[in-house]
């Protein structure tokens, strides 16, 4: 169990360090990213009459294909938005 907490603390430190380095524009765009992504997926869902969860899954897989470095907790954050 100690290893899990150690990795979590390291991840939290990394996030805080990146936040401190972020410009005001980075922070603004970061805060807008999830609502924008949800709206994008919702619009596609309605346009093509496909369940939102399916559209979000395809979008997530596309992101993972573009950048294999995406951390898996991003998946849980995206699912929380849904």
Enter the tokens of residue 79. 């699912």
The reported pTM is: 0.57
The whole-angstrom separation of Cα 48 and Cα 30 is: 28
**In this model, does residue 81 exceed pLDDT 80?**
no
Dist. CA 8–CA 36, nearest whole Å: 27
pLDDT at residue 74 above 80? no
CA angle 17, 21, 24 (to 5 degrees): 130
Q: Provide long-range contacts, Cβ within 8 A and 24+ apart, for 69-78.
A: 71/11, 73/11, 77/34, 78/34, 78/37
The 10s digit of each residue's pLDDT in 8-61 is 666 788 888 888 999 999 989 888 988 998 999 999 999 999 999 998 888 877
């Amino acid at each position: 169990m100690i290893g899990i907490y150690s990795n979590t603390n390291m991840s939290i430190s990394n996030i805080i360090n990146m936040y401190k380095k972020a410009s005001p524009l980075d922070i603004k765009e970061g805060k807008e990213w999830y609502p924008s992504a949800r709206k994008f997926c919702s619009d596609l869902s309605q346009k093509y009459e496909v369940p939102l969860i399916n559209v979000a899954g395809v979008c997530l897989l596309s992101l993972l294909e573009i950048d294999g470095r995406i951390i898996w907790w991003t998946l849980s954050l995206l699912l929380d938005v849904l």
